[in-house]
Structure 1
Amino acid sequence: MSELHKFLFEGLPVRGMLVRLTDSWQELLARREKASDAFPAPVRTLLGEMAAAGALMQSNIKFNGALVLQVFGDGPVRLAVVEVQPDLAYRATAKVVGAVDASARLEAMVNLHGKGRCAITLDPKDKRPGQQPYQGVVPLHGDKREPLQQLSQVLEHYMLQSEQLDTRLVLAADDRIAAGLLIQRLPVEGAGNLAGVRNEDRIGLDEAFNRIAHLASTLTREELLALDADTILRRLFWEQRMTRFEPLHARFACTCSRERVGRMIQGLGRVEVEQILRERDAVEVACEFCGLQYHFDPVDAAQLFLQPGQQPPGSGHTH
């Protein structure tokens, strides 16, 4: 079962989350394989780490809307994207345009010539008129311009810049599981601070976070993939008193639908759709996220342009 566990360290301004995407992650990969569109192994690993990170970040900010995590650049992986909803329903896809070496890391896949970027977009569910989604973008290199080899480093850098909160992130994925551990310093000023820490010495607070973050960093990729949540937390933090909360459940879910695909086909305009039908006898569209195939024969396509509010023939060309 795909679960996300939240916990607080008692008496310390430090919180944590641990996510393990199992059945939902396997379902996502199986749909791609069924559509004969499986990603290379390093791309699957990257997407799995992004899915785990997206779930952690969505749960961390309690945002009523979609969190979209994207990594894009000039390598063979032009784009990798994960979308996570407030209920931790998620989907993922990638655009691969070249060969990916079996041992390729983030730099070789996305940041080949230093142009790679990571973007986090928050898209509210109930937008006000004219309201645009919030987006933050960071390069795939650190403050000293050196390339960051791991997604976890990129996201730690992003969260320090955007939230001014120290974060330690450990991510891992294979074809069975996508998992992640997040440890973050809580703000100690203002109404949201933890009881009893407001007047503590700042050095002591730094040491507390650094100690817990160091313990988290000792978690290996193999341990994160193989051990259950209880075992991981007990092994890492057995000396710390913590408050744990009821686990949240994540699931794979795609928001594609025949209606949405129909609107996209309408946007092509009648002239272009009729040209496609002359060449192929049907308009076929595959969802890039889940691999589901949508088939519109000439009758289906014609009905799209008989609906109220149809676009004029040949207008609104989008690709």
Structure 2
Amino acid sequence: MLKSRLFAVEAFMSDTPKTSSDDSLSRFIFDGADIRGEIVTLADSYAAVLANNPAPAAVQQLLGEFLAAAALLSSTLKFDGIITLQAQGDGPVPVIMAECNHHHGLRGTVRPPEAGFSDGLTGDLGDLIGQGVLAITIDPDKGERYQGVVPLDKPTLAACLEAYFAQSEQLGTRIWLEADQGRAAGLLIQALPTQLAASIEDNQAQWDTVIALATTVTQNELLSLDHSSNLYRLFNEMQVRVFEPATLQFQCTCSEQRSLSALAQIGREECEEILSEQGVINIDCQFCNQHYAFGAAQIRALFEDSPPTMH
């Protein structure tokens, strides 16, 4: 069971030293209101992803926003599995994606165009990705895979995700995402099914108040303040119950077995063609740059058949 603590103005006026909130996600709810929230800050996990994704600063910062968003959305997983955000378009950044699993393991990648990234590439989501779509995929370890898709017709990733929640989840949701060269961070506020508020009008009034307060958060505050300080600055007039934070870390799930499974998917005939041309099949993980090489004997064992005929 998650432990929580209730704070109000007095709780933040103590002399308790503030601790870093790097690489952690804090969930919170508003006592007396049907509203929940999450706040996340990434540092080392973000740096590990950037180390495997050399790109212009604007592209890396967009990747940071994707990582922060994946972390925020991972709390919706009520089962063992992975949530993935992937944007694909016709702009100078063809594909960018991030995912987070139920163990709070994060990874992400950005695919450059064939000619490589242009020097000095700048811009917002639309400038970088161009016309395209954002896919949100929930992939449970057991059960059916679910995917929702929304057009990239908003200026920011946060706005596109808000449109996704309005369309598929029908839940009032506001999201703030920020990233620089050292940190990525995010804040999510979401309405819950009416349980506590006395009326629809009261519920709406509470929502309007919380959103008005949350909207005052600045880029610098979201990236530099610890979670307690941010939540106090934003919501010190309300009572907020904060749950014990979850620690996030870079984690790649690639392995030799997963790579072999991918080869099994493309089939024996294509594998034979690659072996015939190259003598070995090379696979590089797009997330962590791990290299896997498979010779004829491993491919033969994979398909449990007679040795392939080499031409």
Q: TM-score, normalised by structure 1?
A: 0.82
Select between 254-263 and 85-94 the one with higher mean Cα deviation. Answer: 254-263
Aligned partner letter, 2:183: I
Structure 1 residue 19 displacement after superposition:
0.7
1:14-37 superposed Cα distances (whole Å, 9 cap, x missing partner): 11100111111112222x1xxxx5
Is 1:13 equivalent to 2:31 in the alignment?
Answer: no
Alignment of 1:99-248 (within 5 A): 99-100=117-118, 101-111=120-130, 115-127=131-143, 131=144, 133-141=145-153, 148-188=154-194, 193-194=195-196, 197=197, 200-248=198-246
Distance 1:223 1:308 in 2: 52
Distance 1:314 1:272 in 2: 12
Is 1:29 equivalent to 2:50 in the alignment?
Answer: yes
Structure 2 counterpart of 1:86: 102
Structure 1 residue 258 displacement after superposition:
2.0
1:101-142 superposed Cα distances (whole Å, 9 cap, x missing partner): 53311111112xxx3111111112013xxx4x111111122x
Is 1:310 equivalent to 2:304 in the alignment?
Answer: yes
Structure 1 counterpart of 2:13: none
Structure 1 residue 55 displacement after superposition:
1.0
Distance 2:219 2:83 in 1: 25
Distance 2:274 2:121 in 1: 40
Distance 1:41 1:310 in 2: 47
CA contact (8 A) 1:20 1:52 kept: yes
Structure 2 counterpart of 1:144: none
Q: Percent identity?
A: 38
1:39-85 superposed Cα distances (whole Å, 9 cap, x missing partner): 22111111111111111111034343111111111111111111211
Q: 1:163 to 1:150 in 2, by over 3 A?
A: same
Distance 1:224 1:312 in 2: 59
CA contact (8 A) 1:271 1:313 kept: no
Distance 2:207 2:75 in 1: 20
1:206-239 superposed Cα distances (whole Å, 9 cap, x missing partner): 1211111121111111211111111111111111
Q: 1:161 to 1:271 in 2, by over 3 A?
A: closer
Aligned residue pair count: 281
Distance 1:256 1:76 in 2: 27
Q: TM-score, normalised by structure 2?
A: 0.84
Q: 1:312 to 1:233 in 2, by over 3 A?
A: farther
Aligned partner letter, 1:102: L
Distance 1:312 1:156 in 2: 53
Structure 1 residue 283 displacement after superposition:
4.3
